[in-house]
Amino acid sequence: MNLETLLVATGAVTGTGVLAWWRYLDAIAVRPTTLTAEQITAAAPPALRPAAFILFDPAQSSLMFEALDLGHRDRGFPDIVRWDYTSHGIDVEVQMLGGQKLSDWTNEDTCDQLATYFAVPTVTAAGTDPSHVRLSLRVFDTLSDSIPTDVVSGAVQEAAPDPVTPASVGVDLEAVPVGVAEDGSPWLLRVLGSQILVAGATGSGKGSVLHSIIGGLGPAIRAGLVDVWMCDPKGGAEFGSGADRLFVRFGVDAATIIGMLSEAVGLMDERLVRMRRSGTRKLFPSLDEPLMLIVIDEAAALSSYASREEQNEFRRLSGLLLSKGRAAAVVVVAALQDPSKETMPNRQLFSVRIGLRLDEPTQTAMVHGQGARERGARCDQISELTPGVGYVGEDGTTGFKRVRAFWVSDDAVDAIVDTFSPAQPDTAPASDYSDFDPDDLGDDQGPVAA
């Protein structure tokens, strides 16, 4: 193969185990180029030495492709374009053989056979450019450790410049930090201009994602640039501490939540009228027109388990918000366990979809669309021991980003509420009325002079 250099990525990574791994890779990094297979293999991390030997030596890689029926001496072999050490192991770019299709590489049997041949725990495959596939040889899970977040330290400005804008309070509404990506970079979630679906089985970390979004938006909430409307049909146990403080609206039963959504639709339509009259195509949040963030935890309680009339009204109202809200700075974040069409009939209207651990392979397609597993999203293979890990897909992209949301403890939830709740108006009396007698009508003061 044409191997000019072996690249070792660098960057900020959280967790002592991952940091040690990166330091080891940096120590054994091989610079170019006139090296033998034995030197390459000796320089590789012990867990990757068999893989490095196979990838460096074309004769060995050809034997592997023939053994796995991915190539043959009579019809040719796939071309290993390049391979790079990564934080999780090795990524290999392969140009497929003419006549092959992506599913020849991405099916689970082939990935299992590749893992056995490379002597690594896991191999995943995903399409990249046309006729190319990326093999990820994984010996280390960079997202195996939970990532606690300090939502308070350095996050609040006591006095923001005038006028108050997202920039002035240190929040980019199109890049909200909610966790860490697999390569160690921050997971930045586009909130403004999106509609966001979070799907995952019980215990998959949906609450961590929702709390991380709210925490990431905290300074903008405190400044009045974001209004959070919280729908918690599970009774309020998860988000009740923010009622009447962090959230401008809060509902725990179907009737109240549907009333909230109806009010939100009315406000959205009024905004759209003002935008049309002023020639505004996209609303940027301000104190007069804040971003309306409508969070619906366990949406199935309204879409499937409420009364028939309530189900129909929820579907109608949520459809209006999802289809019309993006331009008007109205964002819906819906979380659910079952991503089926019956549970979330408007799921195609979500532009950002976060698939956490799911029970069935078919559910990955329900969240991310047909062919999602072939493009790298394996939500059904996420471990129960890693809540908050998921695959993020966005409209306009074909690939997926593997991420982990911050772990937000109960204490951190309380800190979010205490730190970012907007100041409440002072309704206390301005004067001392402690000696006021409500029965004293002033009758004993005599006539009042004209």
Write out the chain's pLDDT in tens, 450 residues. Answer: 333 333 233 233 334 444 444 444 444 444 445 678 788 888 889 999 999 999 999 999 999 999 999 999 988 999 999 999 998 999 999 999 999 998 899 888 999 999 999 999 999 898 888 899 999 999 999 999 988 876 554 444 444 456 777 877 889 999 999 999 998 899 999 999 999 999 999 999 999 999 999 999 999 999 999 999 999 998 888 899 999 999 999 999 999 999 999 999 999 999 999 999 999 999 999 999 999 999 999 888 888 888 999 999 999 999 999 999 999 999 999 999 988 877 887 888 999 999 999 999 999 999 998 888 878 888 999 999 999 999 999 998 878 999 999 999 999 999 999 999 998 765 556 666 666 666 666 566 555 555
Say if residues 393 and 126 touch (Cβ distance below 8 Å).
no
Instruction: Give the dihedral of Cα atoms 325, 326, 327, 328; nearest 10 deg.
Output: 40
Rounded Cα–Cα distance for residues 186 and 179 (Å): 6
Instruction: Name residue, tokens 């007698």.
Output: 437
> What pLDDT shows up at residue 33?
53
Task: Tell me which amino acid residue 380 is.
Answer: D
Tokens standing for residue 19: 């940091």
Say if residues 293 and 217 touch (Cβ distance below 8 Å).
yes
Say if residues 370 and 378 touch (Cβ distance below 8 Å).
no
Say if residues 315 and 257 touch (Cβ distance below 8 Å).
no
> What pLDDT shows up at residue 35?
74
Q: How far apart are the first and last CA of the chain?
A: 108
Q: Which residues pair with 328 in a beta bridge?
A: none
User: Which residue, among 53, 406, 434, has the nearest Cα to 209 in the 3D structure?
Assistant: 406
User: Which residue, among 351, 347, 380, has the nearest Cα to 363 in the 3D structure?
Assistant: 380
% helix, strand, coil for the chain, step of 5:
35, 20, 50
User: Which residue, among 65, 55, 67, has the nearest Cα to 91 in the 3D structure?
Assistant: 55
Q: Helix H segments across 119-253?
A: 206-216, 218-223
Strands (E), 226-343: 226-231, 249-251, 291-296, 330-336
Which of 109-124 are b and which e, b meaning 16 or more Cβ less than 10 Å from the residue's Cβ?
A: ebbebbbebbebebbb
